[in-house]
């Protein structure tokens, strides 16, 4: 039995975990936690079970014992596919990580792929692709080759296809890439990790450097935290004169970024401007807007249209 797998490998433990989930969904987090504790007595090396226990304890207002369970999750799952490290940071037990575990982001979107568009577009009023596409159209340019970073299921591709001759898409999640392929909009799709240095990210396996005259990143940078690796990738990927169009969640005043309770990162305008300047990007337009809803509340974002000047 792998400690990170979603089933405990014990029928009785799984059954108790299922009952605990039902209690939690019914608003009985404390009772759910107690039943989950019983399940873990039978399967003490079950990382997914410890993560579930931690979330129930957190909902029940037991932050101290939730921290213990998140720590145990991380011990059993050092790759941190559940994002326990992010939770510990939010609870004040660890420093905010500069970037989340790539294993966590990959699993998150692999699991989310089948319901991604229904959840995001129909339920959360997600509008970033249309707004990014409007910025692309505002340049009046037709691009020879565009690279869509974090393309997901391909929501942006159809919006910008008329403005590009060749369109590449890259994502960390293979399941999301499979959904994007179904749209038959992208000329090339491949897996890439934007948190890695340019030479190991996967973006240059099949294509040359400085090949793109348009690079886009719609609603992906909030899953990265420190954006230095992304801007370095764009600097290597983009030809002189190329446009880089992207979105971030708005961190408001300040000079950096922070981890939100949603487990996404928000970035300040000052932070992004500093990175753009350091990587030879001139800002041509900035749009502040609502990009989605979260918990019924609007999420503020910033869209940037930049141009590589060197």
206 has pLDDT over 90: no
- 304 Cβ contact partners less than 8 Å away, ≥ 6 residues apart: 244, 245, 246, 247, 248, 272, 276, 283, 285, 286
Residue 207 has pLDDT above 80, yes or no: no
Based on the fold, state whether residues 293 and 165 are members of the same structural domain.
yes
At 3 the pLDDT is 40
Residue 281, helix vs strand vs coil: strand
Q: Which of 65, 95, 125 is the last residue of a domain?
A: 95
Same domain, 209 and 251: yes
Both 161 and 25 in a single domain?
no
Domain shared by 160 and 282, yes or no: yes
pLDDT at 119 exceeding the cut of 80: no
Provide the total of helices (H) and of strands (E) in the chain, helices listed first.
Answer: 13, 9
Extract the tokens encoding 38.
């019983």
Q: What is the CA radius of gyration of the chain?
A: 21
Pairwise pLDDT comparison (225 vs 204), residue with the higher score? 225
**Residue 87 lies inside a defined structural domain of this protein:** yes
Write down the pLDDT at residue 5.
57
Judgement on whether residues 30 and 144 belong to the same structural domain of the protein: no
Q: Residue 231 is part of a domain; what is its CATH number?
A: 3.40.50.150
CATH number at residue 28: 1.25.40.10
> For residue 201, with 0-12 CB atoms within 10 Å meaning exposed, 13-18 middle and 19 or more buried, which class applies?
buried
**Does residue 2 have a pLDDT over 80?**
no
Mean local confidence (pLDDT), 281-292: 95
Instruction: Give the domain range for residue 43.
Output: 11-95
Residue 155 lies in a domain: yes
* 66 shares its domain with 168: no
Domain annotation covers residue 6: no
Are residues 27 and 167 both part of a single domain?
Answer: no
Residue 3 counted as domain residue: no
Q: Which two tokens stand for residue 89?
A: 């940071």
Q: Which of 66, 95, 124 corresponds to the end of one domain?
A: 95
Is the domain of 295 the same as that of 168? yes
Terminal CA-CA length for the chain: 53
- Same domain flag for 23 and 166: no
Domain boundary among 95, 129, 160: 95
Answer yes or no: do 87 and 145 share one domain.
no
Higher pLDDT, residue 10 or 205? 10
Whether 108 is covered by a domain: the verdict is: no
In a domain, 106, yes or no: no
pLDDT band at 293 (very low <50, low <70, confident <90, very high): confident
Question: pTM of the prediction?
Answer: 0.91
Distance, in Å, from the CA atom of 306 to the CA atom of 298, rounded to the nearest integer, reads 25
Q: What is the band of 295 on the pLDDT scale with cuts at 50, 70, 90?
A: confident
Residue 192: strand, helix, or coil: coil
Q: What is the pLDDT of residue 247?
A: 97
Task: Tell me the sheet residues that pair with 110.
Answer: none
169 and 20 inside one domain: no
Residue 22 falls inside a structural domain: yes
- Are the beta carbons of 7 and 45 closer than 8 angstroms? no
Q: Are 200 and 229 in contact (CB under 8 A)?
A: no
3-state helix, strand, coil in the chain (%, to 5): 45, 25, 35
Q: Are residues 90 and 117 in the same domain?
A: no
How many domains does one find in the chain? 2
């Amino acid at each position: 039995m792998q400690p990170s797998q979603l089933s405990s490998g014990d029928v009785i433990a799984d059954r108790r975990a299922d009952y605990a989930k039902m209690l939690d969904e019914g608003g009985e987090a404390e009772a759910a936690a107690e039943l989950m504790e019983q399940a873990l007595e039978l399967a003490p090396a079950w990382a997914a079970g410890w993560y579930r226990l931690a979330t129930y304890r957190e909902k029940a207002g037991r932050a101290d014992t939730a921290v213990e369970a998140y720590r145990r999750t991380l011990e059993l799952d050092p790759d941190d596919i559940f994002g326990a490290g992010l939770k510990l940071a939010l609870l004040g037990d660890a420093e905010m990580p500069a970037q989340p575990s790539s294993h966590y982001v990959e699993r998150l979107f692999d699991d989310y792929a089948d319901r991604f568009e229904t959840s995001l577009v129909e339920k959360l009023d997600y509008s970033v692709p249309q707004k990014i596409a409007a910025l692309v159209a505002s340049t009046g340019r037709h691009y020879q080759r565009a690279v869509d970073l974090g393309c997901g299921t391909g929501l942006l591709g159809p919006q910008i296809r008329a403005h590009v001759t060749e369109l590449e898409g890259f994502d960390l999640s293979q399941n999301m890439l499979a959904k994007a392929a179904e749209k038959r909009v992208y000329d090339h799709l491949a897996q890439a990790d934007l948190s890695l240095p340019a030479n190991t990210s996967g973006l240059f396996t099949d294509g040359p450097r400085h090949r793109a005259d348009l690079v886009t990143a719609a609603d992906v940078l909030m899953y990265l935290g420190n954006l230095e690796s992304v801007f370095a990738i764009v600097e290597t990927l983009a030809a002189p004169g190329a446009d880089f169009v992207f979105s971030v969640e708005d961190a408001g005043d300040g000079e950096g970024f922070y981890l939100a309770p949603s487990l996404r990162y928000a970035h300040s305008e000052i932070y992004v401007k500093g990175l753009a300047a350091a990587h030879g990007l001139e800002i041509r337009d900035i749009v502040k807007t609502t990009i989605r809803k979260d918990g019924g509340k609007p999420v503020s974002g910033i869209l940037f249209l930049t141009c590589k000047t060197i």
